[in-house]
C-alpha cells in the first residue's frame, strides 16, 4: 500500500479544491437542473459546391474534372440518448459541368440525396441521378453518381450511360464548416460531456447544473456557458477519482495524473467561461458553479470494499474516461472546423489535446484496477463492454 507516500498528493488535492472554490461560483441559486434530453430535429437548407478531379476510363484513360452545384434540404436528428450520434439525411437539385478529357464536355441536371453514417468522423454517402447532355455531340445520356464522404472530401464514381463516359475521382466540398451528409449540422453540444462527468457516492451520474443547449445551436454564449459548467464538474470528478485511487492503494503516478487532470479541467472551465464572456455573457453569468461535495465515499475497510472500489474505478474509467473524454476530444477537435474565431479555435484545440490525455488516463486507471482486482474486476469490465456493444 501507498498510504504513507500520499502526503504530497493530499496537499496537492487540498490546494486544487481550495483554488476551485475561489475561482468558481458556489451559489446554489445559480443552479439550473436539466431533464432528460428530448429528441431534437432540425431542418436546414445548405447550398454547396463540389470541385472534383480524377481519371476517366472506358477506352483511353484521360483526366476528368468538373464542378457541381447543389442545394440540400437536410433533416438532422439527435435521438433521446446520451452520446448518441446525430442522424442526418436529405437531398435536393443539382447541376454539374464535367470534362472527360479535352473532347467530352457534359452538362448534368438532376437530383442528389445522401445520408450521414457517423457524424463524429464525418462519414457519409451521396447518390446522384440525372440527365447528361454532351455539349459537343448534342447527345443525351443518363447520369448516375455514387460518392463516399469523409469530412469535406468525396470519393466518387460517376457514369454517363449511353455516352459511354465513366470517371473515378475525388472532390472537395465548399463551404467547409457545414458538412452536409458527413453529419455535423451544428445542432448538438451534448453528445459527449466536455470533461469527466460527476457521479454521486452510489455511482449515479449527477445531472449537469446547466440545462443542455439544444434549442438554438447558434447561441454561442449559452454553449460556452454549458461547457464551462461541465468542465467545472469534471474538476470535482477528478478530485473524486484521486481520492478513490488513494483509498484503493493505486500507484502514486496514477494519483498524480488524476490530480493533473483536475488541474486541466480547472483551466478548461476558465477558458470556456472566458469564451462565454467573449460571446456576450457577463462575468457573473459566465462563471460556472462548483459542485458542493468534492469528496466521495471511498473508505475501504476490507477486501469486499476494495473489490467494489476497484470495479467502480475500472468501469467508470472506461465509460467516463476512455469513452466519454475520448468522444469529447474528438468533438472539440471537430468543432474547430466550424468557423469559430481564432481564440475559440485555440481553446478547443487545447481542450481536445488534454481530453485525449484524460481518455488515455481512463484506460490506464481501468488497466491498473483490472490488474489489481483480478477476475472480479475483469468480469465487470467484460460485462460493461458487452452492455455497451448491445446499446
From 86-94, 244-252, 281-289, 319-327, span contacting Fe ion (CB under 5 A)? 319-327
For residues 270 and 308, which CB has a smaller minimum distance to Fe ion in the complex?
Answer: 270
Among 325, 334, 366, 380, interactor with Fe ion by CB under 5 A = 325
From 104-112, 149-157, 293-301, 317-325, span contacting Fe ion (CB under 5 A)? 317-325
Task: Give dist(CA 361, CA 359) in Å, integer.
Answer: 5
From 289-297, 308-316, 321-329, 336-344, span contacting Fe ion (CB under 5 A)? 321-329
For residue 354, the minimal CB distance to Fe ion (Å) is 6
For residue 321, the minimal CB distance to Fe ion (Å) is 8
Q: Site mask, Fe ion, residues 7-46, x = CB under 5 A?
A: ----------------------------------------
For residues 86 and 325, which CB has a smaller minimum distance to Fe ion in the complex?
Answer: 325
Nearest to 361 by CA among 221, 258, 232: 258
The DSSP line for 38-55 is: PPEEEEEEEEEEEEEEEE
Exposure of 205 in the CB half-sphere (CA atoms within 13 A): 17
For residues 316 and 355, which CB has a smaller minimum distance to Fe ion in the complex?
Answer: 355
For residues 42 and 268, which CB has a smaller minimum distance to Fe ion in the complex?
Answer: 268
Nearest to 227 by CA among 266, 195, 261, 260: 195
For residue 194, the minimal CB distance to Fe ion (Å) is 5
Among 358, 366, 368, 369, interactor with Fe ion by CB under 5 A = 358
From 22-30, 83-91, 358-366, 372-380, span contacting Fe ion (CB under 5 A)? 358-366
SS (H, E, C) 184-218: CCCCCCCCCCCCCCCECCCCCECCCCCCCCCCCCC
Residues 6+ apart with CB under 8 A from 141: 106, 131, 132, 133, 134, 160, 161, 162, 163, 165
If phi over 0 gives left and psi between -120 and 50 gives alpha, with beta otherwise, what is residue 373? alpha
For residues 104 and 355, which CB has a smaller minimum distance to Fe ion in the complex?
Answer: 355
Task: Give dist(CA 239, CA 195) in Å, integer.
Answer: 13
For residues 56 and 188, which CB has a smaller minimum distance to Fe ion in the complex?
Answer: 188
For residues 122 and 195, which CB has a smaller minimum distance to Fe ion in the complex?
Answer: 195
For residue 332, the minimal CB distance to Fe ion (Å) is 8
438532376: which residue's cell?
110
Q: Site mask, Fe ion, residues 257-276, x = CB under 5 A?
A: --------x--x--------
Give the H or E element holding residue 97: strand 87-100
Q: What residues from 188 to 217 belong to the interface with Fe ion (CB under 5 A)?
A: 195
For residues 187 and 352, which CB has a smaller minimum distance to Fe ion in the complex?
Answer: 352
For residues 119 and 320, which CB has a smaller minimum distance to Fe ion in the complex?
Answer: 320
- Asked if residues 325 and 363 have their Cβ atoms less than 8 Å apart, the reply is no
Number of residues that bind Fe ion (CB under 5 A): 7
User: What backbone phi and psi angles, to 5 degrees, belong to 108?
Assistant: -120, 130
For residue 10, the minimal CB distance to Fe ion (Å) is 22
For residue 295, the minimal CB distance to Fe ion (Å) is 19
Asked if 231 is part of the footprint of Fe ion (rule: CB under 5 A), the reply reads yes
Alpha helices in the chain (DSSP H): 7-23, 220-247, 252-278, 283-286, 303-316, 326-335, 342-373, 375-390
For residue 234, the minimal CB distance to Fe ion (Å) is 5
For residue 223, the minimal CB distance to Fe ion (Å) is 15
Task: Give dist(CA 160, CA 134) in Å, integer.
Answer: 9
Task: Give dist(CA 117, CA 184) in Å, integer.
Answer: 11
Between the alpha carbon of residue 183 and those of residues 120, 145, 384, the distances in Å are 7, 20, 28
Asked if 166 is part of the footprint of Fe ion (rule: CB under 5 A), the reply reads no
Nearest to 31 by CA among 271, 294, 288, 296: 288
Asked if 355 is part of the footprint of Fe ion (rule: CB under 5 A), the reply reads yes
Q: Within 10 Å of residue 140's Cβ, how many Cβ atoms?
A: 12
For residue 285, the minimal CB distance to Fe ion (Å) is 20
User: Contact residues for Fe ion (CB under 5 A)?
Assistant: 195, 231, 265, 268, 325, 355, 358
Amino acid at each position: 500500500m501507498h498510504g504513507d507516500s500520499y502526503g504530497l498528493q493530499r496537499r496537492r488535492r487540498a490546494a486544487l479544491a481550495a483554488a476551485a472554490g475561489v475561482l468558481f461560483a458556489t451559489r446554489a441559486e445559480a443552479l439550473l437542473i436539466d431533464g432528460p434530453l428530448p429528441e431534437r430535429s432540425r431542418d436546414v437548407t445548405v447550398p454547396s459546391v463540389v470541385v472534383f478531379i480524377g481519371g476517366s476510363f472506358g477506352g483511353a484513360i484521360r483526366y476528368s474534372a468538373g464542378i457541381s452545384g447543389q442545394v440540400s434540404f437536410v433533416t438532422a436528428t439527435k435521438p433521446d440518448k446520451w452520446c448518441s450520434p446525430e442522424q442526418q439525411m436529405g437531398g435536393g437539385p443539382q447541376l454539374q459541368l464535367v470534362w472527360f478529357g479535352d473532347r467530352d464536355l457534359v452538362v448534368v441536371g438532376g437530383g442528389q440525396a445522401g445520408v450521414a453514417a457517423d457524424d463524429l468522423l464525418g462519414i457519409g454517402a451521396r447518390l446522384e441521378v440525372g440527365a447528361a447532355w454532351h455539349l459537343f455531340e448534342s447527345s443525351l445520356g443518363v447520369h448516375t453518381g455514387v460518392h463516399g464522404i469523409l469530412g469535406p472530401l468525396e470519393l466518387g464514381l460517376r457514369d454517363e450511360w449511353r455516352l459511354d463516359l465513366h470517371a473515378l475521382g475525388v472532390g472537395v466540398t465548399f463551404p467547409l464548416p457545414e458538412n452536409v451528409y458527413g453529419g455535423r449540422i451544428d445542432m448538438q453540444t451534448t453528445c459527449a460531456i466536455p470533461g469527466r462527468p460527476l457521479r454521486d457516492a452510489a455511482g449515479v451520474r449527477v445531472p449537469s447544473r446547466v440545462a443542455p443547449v439544444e434549442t438554438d445551436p447558434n447561441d454561442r454564449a449559452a454553449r460556452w456557458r454549458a461547457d464551462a459548467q461541465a468542465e467545472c464538474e469534471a474538476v470535482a470528478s477528478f478530485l473524486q477519482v484521486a481520492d478513490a485511487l488513494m483509498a484503493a492503494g493505486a500507484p502514486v503516478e496514477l494519483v498524480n495524473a488524476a490530480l493533473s487532470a483536475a488541474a486541466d479541467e480547472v483551466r478548461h472551465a476558465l477558458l470556456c467561461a472566458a469564451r462565454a464572456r467573449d460571446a456576450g455573457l457577463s462575468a457573473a453569468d459566465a462563471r460556472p458553479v462548483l459542485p458542493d461535495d468534492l469528496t466521495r465515499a471511498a473508505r475501504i475497510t476490507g477486501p469486499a470494499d476494495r473489490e467494489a472500489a476497484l470495479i467502480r474505478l475500472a468501469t467508470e474509467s472506461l465509460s467516463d474516461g476512455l469513452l466519454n473524454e475520448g468522444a469529447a476530444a474528438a468533438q472539440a477537435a471537430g468543432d474547430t472546423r466550424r468557423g469559430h474565431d481564432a481564440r475559440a479555435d485555440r481553446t478547443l484545440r487545447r481542450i481536445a489535446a488534454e481530453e485525449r490525455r484524460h481518455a488515455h488516463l481512463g484506460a490506464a486507471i481501468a488497466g491498473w484496477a483490472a490488474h489489481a482486482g483480478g477476475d472480479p474486476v475483469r468480469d465487470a469490465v467484460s460485462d460493461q463492454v458487452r452492455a455497451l456493444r448491445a446499446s
